[in-house]
Structure 1
Amino acid sequence: MIVSIIGWLILIYVGFVIFFYILMVTSAYRTLSKRKMLDDNMLEEDFKVNMFTKPVSILVPAYNEEVGIVESLHSLINLRYPESEIIVIDDGSTDDTADILIKKFKMKRIYRQVPSHLVTESIVSLHQSELHPKVFLLRKMNGGKADALNAGINLARYPYFCSIDGDSILDENSLLKVMRPIIASDGKVVAAGGNVRIANGNDIHLGSIVEHNIFRRPLVMMQIVEYLRAFMLGRIFLSEFNMVLIISGAFSVFSKKTVIEAGGYSPGVIGEDMELVVKVHELIRRKKTGERVEFVPEPVCWTEAPATLKVLRRQRRRWSQGLIESLWRHRHMTLNPKYGRIGLLAFPYFWLFEGFGALIELAGYLYIIFAFFTGGLNVEVAVLLMLALILYGSIFSSFSLLMDAWTTNNYTKASHILTLVLLALSETFWYRPLTLLWRIEGIFNFIRRKHVWGQMERKGLGRGETES
């Protein structure tokens, strides 16, 4: 009897998740339909020549990024934007990251006073490119990604900064796109996140994507599907109601003044990206300024995805631990009407569905397995639960793929779209259970206060990677 009740409770939970995903699909369709009717080229040119366009400092924290940093920097140099500077922060790398940059971009050492708005590890040296005078290299003692970004903020001269991972590639119009809501709102939008896609398999030359392909390894292709679902559905929906708690550190823009006032990035926190966004929301509600954090759905940033189970496990374990850590650090905001929709809706959603939802989902899988092998459980409930999990994990992923194909030109080959859709239908049976286990591992690491960052092993992005 008790076991049957547990099965029904799990089924009800999954039903709520499906309901929220239906809302997300509806919201995403409405938002993308509106954007599809706009003439992007006209908007880009309008903002490019607009006298109110804001100058931006682009910050690239780099630790042992010798494999991909040159391609990433080329993509930043190629950006179409009226006024910007690029600051690579070498966070005490033990490889040749700094030496490669100094040699490739003919950098010379310069001497400039770096303000101390935020406390960071010691600065070692500052270099400027002779080929591209707007490109700088800041070398410092190792302090982690958050500390490196804080050092970059201190050096930045402009009122907005864009953070991008050292292994990422930006489309040439990406900065214009992500700055649109900030410019259009006259500064009321204080942070904006861009859409992030998987770059593995794409043909890349001098920081630009020459041809879109897919990396024909199931583990990487499933991450393509997963990213599409997260960005095309979840974040579009949350952004519509100003409830975005996560904007990817791979590509995001912030008001420098707001971030300094919020205390900057938090060193020692695993999920420094989410932590900063939550701190910004808390500051906004405290000041009652009505400012917003938005997500920009256009595909603008391409990043290297883990190609092995070992590295993917590290990444997902870290993401899960970082999410729970930020929610716990700001637990006073949960169900607190003082923080509006962030406290009353966003925090409960993230606690229930993104945080501890992995435990409930895993219980659902275990229930199905026991029902199949013992026959002692409610088989009807188990069958319904299995169908619900397939709908949740696979069908909505397929919707995301089709919406992406409708609104973008990233995957133009029918064979690519068909391959990804078919693979999405298998997610429930192998990929989803794996990521659930890793997410739960992250939860237990948080409970044990075990801080394990793990290092992302890069293969680099460029030619010769395609397996299509």
Structure 2
Amino acid sequence: MLNSIWHYLLYFFGTAVFIYMGVVMLFYFIMFLISAVQLRRQYQLNDEEPYEDLLNVSYTTPLSILVPAYNEEKGIIGSVRSLLSIEYPEYEVIVINDGSSDATMQQLIKEFQLKKVNRVIRQQLQTKEINALYQSELYEYLYVVDKENGGKSDALNAGINISHYPYFCSIDGDSVLERDAFLKVMKPIIDSNGDVIASGGSVRIANGCQIENGAVVSVGLAREPIVVMQVIEYLRAFLMGRIGLSRHNLLLIVSGAFGVFSKRWVIEAGGYSKTVGEDMELVVRLHRLLKDRKEKKQIVYIADPVCWTEAPDEMKYLSRQRNRWHRGLFDSLWKHKKMMFNPKYGSIGMVSMPYFFFIELLGPLMELFGYLFIVISLIVGGIYLEFAYLLFMMMVIYGSLYSMAAVLLEEWSLRKFPKVQDIFVLFFFSLTESFWYRPLTVIWRCHGFIDVLRKKTGWGDMQRKGVSQ
């Protein structure tokens, strides 16, 4: 009797994982086709679009660039330098020192000759107390806010309160932008005459690149395998995921490392909330606000504008990052669970929210069940062996071949990697993904579920080595 129950349960879980993986693979195949067509179309247009017109001040919308910084002494100077030299006609840079315990503030004061300024700050969003506001004597459009520690969302809200312009961009303190990135990411906002209220660009891994004076001089790959795998992972997430979702206004994530937002709509939505996934939660809340008010606005993703950021190069820091991302995903979906399968929210409620729940959130659990089924089948043997081999092949296709497809999209369109050997390295590591890297990310993300049950809310310590010098 017990033996029959055991075999029934094994068959049930194996079949469930098999069907789940089949549906996910079909979904990603459709996403790949949509992304390939859209990316190629954007790439062909980018060669012809007159971005030079956007350099005209009378034509371009001014922009506030917000840089939340907490213990970023190793990368903050290079990041700010890159922002001071971007191609954009009218903008301001606001660095928010969120109670750093290292020399972040001292370095900023010394490097940019900051002086205190007296100014009444309109508290449109509630934040921790601001100790002082500084302005650079070298660059009049550079401001630095020194405030009590309140977390990234609190720092961004403080920056929004201080900003002068109708649109703002959030940039991580360890990031470096390509010089024309803002021209490209702002173009859909300007062209839409207000219909696009948020726009996000691609984020790439800076490790292995040569960066001088806040600018990427040459693009390369790091030597560490886990960093190379993150390069592939970012290509897959941005080029295959977000392009397809953006095409139908289904995007629920604009990366906190590089995203432009309408200040008016963000303030009406209540600003950034205190959560480990503040970037996604804000976008979901904006969609919810727009649907409640029956506003036909868009949130889009543009592949070409690139922001280069430092990636963890040690397992313990990478595991903390993926754990935090998954907790942030759960938090965002849980806070807005009433949108799920709710026709009131249109395609966001009926397609996008279920996608992020069933594929992004539950995906690691289903993959973990798949790995356990394969191991148990190898032990039990019999009829389950062929089932296990088939499931393993599906997981290889899902984990490795789709990553290779993302590398192919990169080489076919954007071509950010000039060295042929780098493309070969990316293809090789894509093939190995299912055998070591993907199981690790599954474990890290599943641990995020455990931490959700434990009600863990912290970010965890992250190491910065300063690639943006």
TM bucket normalised to smaller = over 0.9
Q: Match for 1:325: what amino acid?
A: D
> Does 2:395 align with 1:389?
yes
The aligned amino acid for 2:336 is H
1:16 aligns with 2:16: no
Partner of 2:175: 168
Name the TM-score, length of structure 2 as normaliser: 0.97
TM-score by length of 1: 0.97
Distance 1:436 1:2 in 2: 22
> Which SS does the other structure have where 2:134 is aligned?
strand
Partner of 1:296: 302
- 2:260 maps to what in 1? 253
Does residue 205 of structure 1 match 2:212? yes
Q: Name the counterpart of 1:133.
A: 140
| 1:82 pairs with one of 72, 76, 89 | 89
Show the 5 A alignment for 1:242-321: 242-267=249-274, 269-321=275-327
1:241 to 226, 244, 248: 248
- Note the C-alpha offset of 1:373: 2.7
- The aligned amino acid for 1:266 is S
Distance 1:78 1:275 in 2: 31
Which AA in structure 1 matches 2:123?
A: S
Instruction: Give the AA of the match of 1:24.
Output: M
CA deviation after TM superposition for structure 1 residue 76, in Å: 0.4
Question: Counterpart in 2 of 1:115?
Answer: 122
Q: Which amino acid aligns with 2:398?
A: Y
8 A contact 2:184–2:305 mirrored in 1: no
Who is 1:46 aligned against?
A: 53
Q: CA deviation at 1:462?
A: 4.6
Specify the code of the residue in structure 2 equivalent to 1:79: I
How many Å apart are 1:9 and its aligned residue? 1.6
Q: 1:66 aligns with which of 73, 86, 90?
A: 73
User: What whole-Å deviation, never above 9, does each CA across 1:400-421 have from its counterpart, x for those lacking one?
Assistant: 1111012123212111100111
The answer to whether the 8 A contact 2:254-2:301 is kept is yes
Does residue 361 of the first structure (1) align with residue 393 of the second (2)? Answer: no
Going from structure 1 to structure 2, the CA distance change for 1:69 and 1:462 (only over 3 Å counts) comes to closer
Cα distance in 2 for partners of 1:248, 1:26 equals: 23
* Structure 1 Cα separation of the partners of residues 213 and 376 of structure 2: 54
Identify if the C-alpha distance between structure 1 residues 308 and 154 changes in structure 2 by more than 3 Å, giving closer, same or farther: same
Report the more deviating stretch, 34-43 or 312-321.
Answer: 34-43
Contact 1:202 / 1:462 at 8 angstroms: preserved in 2? no
Check conservation: 1:4, 1:377, Cα contact below 8 A: no
**Percent same amino acid at aligned positions?**
49
Amino acid at match of 2:53: D
Q: Does 1:423 align with 2:423?
A: no
Provide the aligned length of Structure 1 versus Structure 2.
462
Change (3 A) 1:433 1:64: same
**How far apart in 2 are the matches of 1:118 and 1:103?**
30
Structure 1, residues 394-449: CA drift from partner, whole Å, max 9, x if none? 00111111110121232121111001111111111111011111111111211221
**In the TM superposition, what is the alpha-carbon distance from 1:270 to its structure 2 partner?**
1.1
Residue 455 (structure 1) aligned to one of 461, 465, 469: 461
Task: After superposition, give the CA deviation of every residue in 1:373-410 in whole Å (9 maximum; x if it has no partner).
Answer: 33156112111111110100100111111110121232
Equivalent position of 2:328 in the other structure:
322
Q: Kindly tell me: are residues 247 and 333 of structure 1, through their superposed partners in 2, closer, same or farther at Cα, counting changes over 3 Å?
A: same
Hey, what's the Cα distance between the residues in 2 that align with 1:355 and 1:324? 7
Look up the SS of the partner of 1:86 in the other structure: strand
Q: 1:347 is aligned with what amino acid?
A: M
Preserved CA contact (<8 Å) 1:25 1:233: yes
1:294 positional shift: 0.6
2:466 alignment partner, SS class: coil
Question: 3-state SS of the aligned residue for 2:250?
Answer: coil
Q: Are residues 143 and 272 of structure 1, via their aligned partners in 2, closer, same or farther at CA, if it must alter by over 3 Å?
A: same
Question: Deviation per CA, 1:276-308, whole angstroms, max 9, x where unpaired?
Answer: 101100110011110011111114100000000
Partner Cα separation in structure 2 for residue 50 and residue 26 of structure 1: 38
Structure 1 distance, partners of 2:411, 2:236, is 13
Take 1:119 and 1:363, find their aligned partners in 2: how far apart are those partners? 44
Pairwise CA distance, 1:455: 2.0
SS in structure 1 at match of 2:265: helix
| 5+ long unaligned stretches in structure 1 | 464-468
Q: CA RMSD in A?
A: 1.2
Deviations 1:336-372 (A, max 9, x none): 0010011011111111000011101110011111112
Selected match of 2:110 from 100, 103, 110: 103
Question: Equivalences for 1:178-217 in 2 at 5 Å?
Answer: 178-217=185-224
* Partner Cα distance (1:376, 1:5) in 2: 16
Distance 1:294-1:362 versus aligned 2 partners, 3 A rule = same
Runs of 4+ with deviation above 3 angstroms = 39-42
Give, in whole Å, the separation in 1 of the partners of 2:88 and 2:413: 24
- CA separation in 1, counterparts of 2:57 and 2:384? 64
The secondary structure found in structure 2 opposite 1:186 is coil
Alpha-carbon distance, 1:247 to partner: 1.0
Deviation at 1:452, TM superposition (A): 2.6
SS at match of 2:68: strand
AA of the residue aligned to 1:86? V
* One of 11, 14, 21 as aligned partner of 1:7: 14
Report the Cα offset of residue 188 of structure 1: 0.5
Contact 1:405–1:412 (8 Å) recurs in 2: no
In structure 1, C-alpha distance between the alignment counterparts of 2:383 and 2:373, rounded to whole Å: 8
1:466 maps to which residue?
none
**What whole-Å deviation, never above 9, does each CA across 1:217-270 have from its counterpart, x for those lacking one?**
100000000000000000001101111111110000000000000000002x11
Could you say if the C-alpha distance between residues 6 and 438 of structure 1 is closer, same or farther in structure 2, counting changes exceeding 3 Å? same
Letter of the aligned partner of 1:11 in structure 2?
F
Is the contact between residue 36 and residue 407 of structure 1 (CA under 8 Å) also seen in structure 2? yes
- Distance, in Å, in 2 between the alignment partners of 1:315 and 1:376 is 40
